[in-house]
Structure 1
Amino acid sequence: MADFGEILRAVGDFGLFQKLIVLALSFPNILLSISFASILFMDFDPERHCNTDWILGAGPNLTEEEQLNLTIPREPDGSLSRCLMFAPVDWTLDSIRRYGLNHTTACQDGWVYDQTLYQATIVTDFDLVCDKAHFAGIAQTVFMAGILAGSFIFGPASEPIGRKRAIQIPTVLLMIFIVAAGFCPNYYLYIVTQFMSGVGIGGYRVNSIVLVTEWMGTAKRSLGLCVSQIFNALGSMSLAGIMYLIRDWRRAQLVIAAPMALAVIYIWFIPESAQWLLEQGKTEEVKKLILKVAAINKQKVPESLLDKISEKTIVEPGGIELLIQSSILKYFVIITFIWFSINLAYLCVVFNIANLGLNIFLTQFMFGLTEMPAHILCIWLLEIRGRKVSLMSTVLLGGFFSFLVILVPRDQALLVGVLVITGQFFLIWGMSICNIYIQELFPTSIRHTATGLSTVVMRLAGLLSPLLNLLAVYHWTIPIIVFSSLALGGGALTFLLPETRGVDPPDLLDQMEAMDQEGKQKTDDGSGEKAKTKT
């Protein structure tokens, strides 16, 4: 049986076909980023006060200022209460002015919302304020739970049904529920659509990465994954522009769905992974696919190679059990913790963007803009400094700048913004390195299992980040201290990982474990030699 790397080299491992695949599978990442982050704008809590139009029955000619002064109590700082009103009374206007109103109650007839920033959000449409204010955070948590479920369901599903189907189904799900969310009449149906949208996003992302890497040569995989991440950054930047122009969450849903329809159509024409087809024994399909790819890349496939494809391939059984029993389990635990800590720190800031005291549209645009150089520099840094040093430095710097935020007075919005954006820059950089590093740490036989499990744990960070942000009600520094400390710890643990630059991981686990032991012996011998020289 021909090695699949040999097949790729024959048909071109980064020709026109691979470039088209990368672009086709990366384009939905723009839309996924918009769908992922749009909830940040949709759950924005605007200025508001109770609806007190009941007093207009007694004084229809009252100005808005007079109406509010008579019917809304004041907070200690002199501002109007956002959750209380004076209880309605059956008095004349003169009596109300003479005696005043003293008995307060919760808002009885809804709220009047300020529309300076947005015309409508899920908060204003579903009245998620006061005693229901935590419902917006629940919506974020449900959304992230959907992403976790999507990764958990469609990650393993790509083995029996194939990479192609495991991409197509989530794409269709996402399209359906993005549109459905825009027509939701109540909050409970809305969170159902958010969960299902999350399932679509989680399923697509985990399998699109697998399909991209399985069609590319080892030397070009980091480039393909970094390009895919750049499209995520374009999505974050586009989101700021879309929400700035639209300002209505329901219309925004439909605008997001329009280009998604294009992806739903062309995604059915994406070819299946030839590597997966080989593992399924579908050699005739592989031959036809290889010839098509070679034609697109303008390469000629030797007949001898096509003959080898017909031979039976032997694949080492993978799975969770094999990973747990292996000596490289420690690497899985470390890289998973690092990925988790980076994602937690990143998402805690993203989900708290509206409360940073900054211009929400400009900040969102800057988040996306800083991602671009992070992913581009990732390609360069990985080749110059290697995986280990690159990951350690970026995560430690990301955690450090995030921690510095607690030392800055909250009224210094510009300085806070600089620290937040700088921290996000390094965290995104580290996240991009993790995506590549984890593909190289494990042999082929357990790579998909290790990546899938690590992705599920990483998605747990998305589930926990809104809950961690809720601890800010006790003190605003608590979430920052927790996620920045975890990021610093993850950066320190990177020291225990092996360097993988320029090293092709073997296909079999036994070979990987032998390489690991050999590396340890070389390290020990090196230490011993240094000690002797010193003596």
Structure 2
Amino acid sequence: MIDFGEILRHVGELGLFQKLLLLALSFPNMILSLNYGSLLFVESDPERHCNTDWILGAGPNLTEEEQLHLTVPREPDGSFSRCLMYAPVDWTLDSIRRYGLNHTTACRDGWVYDQTLYQATIVTDFDLVCDQANQEKIAQTVLMSGYLLGSLLFGYFAESIGRKRAIQIPTVLLMIFIVAAGFCPNYYLYIVTQFMSGVGMGGYRVNSIVLVTEWMGTAKRSLGLCVCQIFNSLGSMSLAGIMYLIRDWRQAQLAIATPMALAVIYIWFIPESAQWLLKQGKTEEVKKLILKAAAINKQTVPESLLDKISEKTIEEKGVMDLLIQSCILKYFVIITFIWFSINLAYLCVVFNISNLGLNIFLTQFMFGLSEMPAHILCIWLLEIRGRKVSLMATALLGGFFSFLVVMVPRDQALLVGVLVITGQFFLIWGMSICHIYIQELFPTSIRHTATGLSTLVVRLAGLLSPLLNLLAVYHWTIPIIVFSTLALGGGALTFMLPETRVVDPPDPLDQMEAMDQEGKQKSDDGSGEKTKT
């Protein structure tokens, strides 16, 4: 048997074959960001008033201002009520003007919405206002629940049906339910489409990264992960442009489905993971794929090397092996908590973007733009400063700038926006580091189990973030204090992790107990060479 890493060194660790595969699998990641559009680009409390056209039966020539003055009560600040109206009466217009209306009631015939910002959103189409105002957060939770289930199901299926099928099926699901959402006649069918879209998003996300990294050399995997994240940022930036040009969320759903249709077509031609095929004992298929990849990369693979290919025999360890090793368990709990806290802080802000007080299109664009240098710097600084220092700094700075928001008056929208975008820059940077760090902390035999369980816990952040934002009804600072404090705590805990920049990833479990000391000795060597022990 030969190690697959040696095969990749002959095929090319990042040749044209890997670049084309990376581009093909990264493009749908951009669409995943676009799919948040119908949830993010809505006013949580749009300008509106009750539909009081009943009075036009008594006075058909009333102006809009006169109609509101006669039929809608005013709030203490002088503005018209958004959720109350005067109860209809069977009086003449003169009687209404003379005696006035005093009995108020909830809106009976729907609302009239201001269309200055949007022509239609899920809020205005499904009347998610007043006593239904929190339904938007429920839709966000349902989407992230589907994301969690998709990650779990297709992560499991990828081991039995292969990485390729576990990517193709979620892609088709996404295409179907992105389009279906745009035709939903009511809110309940809409949240069903969101759940199924979430399943597709979670399934695609986890397996596309696995397939890309399994075709890359170990030294190039961090680059592959960062490129996938860059496409997410491009999606966030594109989302701002799409929603600026298309102010109707249903039309926007169909616009998002257009590039997805392209992905659905070419996704059937992507190659399977050679490493997965090797585990299945399909050596002949592995040889054909290796020769194809080498030909595209203009490399030659010796026949003697191909003859050594046999079924991979590395024994995969299970959950119990993760739990019984104290050192492994410590690293697992720490890196999972850090990743979870950073992701929670990031998503809480993303799902609350419409309430920052700034131009929503500009803010969304700046979010995506600020992520780009974070991913690019991640590739460069990880090799200069190492994983430990980089993760500690990004988590602490992300939590710090997020916490500063509570100290700024809410009417200072520009300053709040600057602090939020700065905090997001460091948080997204920290998430990119976590993706790479967790791959290097654990031995080969336990790496897949540890990464899968950690990713599952991190997905819970997406489920909890809309619910945490609901606590703002008690006080707007509560969600910010909670998620920024967790991010700061995660940054502090990074101190307990070892540096992995100049440490070879360990294979046997018994090496893990000695990894702390070994990591410190090797990280102290400024030349980057391993210290002899």
Same fold (TM over 0.5): yes
Corresponding residue for residue 410 of structure 1:
410
Corresponding residue for residue 240 of structure 1:
240
- Give the direction of change, closer, same or farther, for the CA distance of 1:94–1:406 in structure 2 (3 Å limit): same
Residue 43 of structure 1: how far off its partner (Å): 6.1
What secondary structure does 2:128 align onto? Answer: coil
Corresponding residue for residue 533 of structure 1:
none
Corresponding residue for residue 501 of structure 1:
501
Corresponding residue for residue 253 of structure 2:
253
Equivalent residues, number? 523
Residue 316 of structure 1: how far off its partner (Å): 1.2
Residue 326 of structure 1: how far off its partner (Å): 2.4
State how far apart, in whole Å, the 2-side matches of 1:521 and 1:218 are. 22
Matched, 1:395 2:360: no
Corresponding residue for residue 371 of structure 2:
371
The one-letter code of the counterpart of 1:371 is E
Corresponding residue for residue 348 of structure 2:
348
Q: How does 1:180-219 map to 2 (within 5 A)?
A: 180-219=180-219
State how far apart, in whole Å, the 2-side matches of 1:517 and 1:363 are. 42
Larger deviation, residues 212-221 vs 322-331: 322-331
State how far apart, in whole Å, the 1-side matches of 2:516 and 2:347 are. 37
Corresponding residue for residue 531 of structure 2:
none
Checking the alignment, whether the CA contact within 8 Å between 1:43 and 1:136 is kept in structure 2 is no
Matched, 1:90 2:90: yes
| Identical-pair percentage | 84
What secondary structure does 2:41 align onto? Answer: helix
- TM-score in terms of structure 2 length: 0.96
State how far apart, in whole Å, the 2-side matches of 1:455 and 1:46 are. 36
State how far apart, in whole Å, the 1-side matches of 2:507 and 2:389 are. 25
What secondary structure does 2:479 align onto? Answer: helix
Matched, 1:324 2:323: yes
Checking the alignment, whether the CA contact within 8 Å between 1:370 and 1:425 is kept in structure 2 is yes
Corresponding residue for residue 488 of structure 2:
488
State how far apart, in whole Å, the 2-side matches of 1:495 and 1:521 are. 12
Corresponding residue for residue 166 of structure 2:
166
1:478-522 CA-partner distances (Å, limit 9, x unpaired): 000000000000000000111110333134434x42542653896
5+ unaligned residues in a row in structure 2: which ranges? Answer: 526-533
5+ unaligned residues in a row in structure 1: which ranges? Answer: 527-535
Checking the alignment, whether the CA contact within 8 Å between 1:30 and 1:235 is kept in structure 2 is yes
Q: How does 1:219-298 map to 2 (within 5 A)?
A: 219-298=219-298
What secondary structure does 1:49 align onto? Answer: strand
Q: How does 1:329-478 map to 2 (within 5 A)?
A: 329-478=329-478
1:186-205 CA-partner distances (Å, limit 9, x unpaired): 10010000000001111111
Checking the alignment, whether the CA contact within 8 Å between 1:178 and 1:254 is kept in structure 2 is yes
Matched, 1:74 2:81: no
State how far apart, in whole Å, the 2-side matches of 1:312 and 1:101 are. 83
| Pairwise CA RMSD | 1.6
State how far apart, in whole Å, the 2-side matches of 1:38 and 1:131 are. 21
- Give the direction of change, closer, same or farther, for the CA distance of 1:515–1:3 in structure 2 (3 Å limit): farther
What secondary structure does 2:49 align onto? Answer: strand
Corresponding residue for residue 26 of structure 1:
26
1:134-169 CA-partner distances (Å, limit 9, x unpaired): 111100110111111111111122111111111111
Residue 319 of structure 1: how far off its partner (Å): 2.2
State how far apart, in whole Å, the 1-side matches of 2:203 and 2:451 are. 13
State how far apart, in whole Å, the 1-side matches of 2:274 and 2:103 are. 73
Corresponding residue for residue 41 of structure 1:
41
Corresponding residue for residue 515 of structure 2:
516
State how far apart, in whole Å, the 2-side matches of 1:37 and 1:495 are. 38
Residue 232 of structure 1: how far off its partner (Å): 0.4
Residue 84 of structure 1: how far off its partner (Å): 0.2
State how far apart, in whole Å, the 2-side matches of 1:342 and 1:521 are. 25
Residue 390 of structure 1: how far off its partner (Å): 0.2
Q: How does 1:52-131 map to 2 (within 5 A)?
A: 52-131=52-131
State how far apart, in whole Å, the 1-side matches of 2:430 and 2:20 are. 26
Residue 415 of structure 1: how far off its partner (Å): 0.5
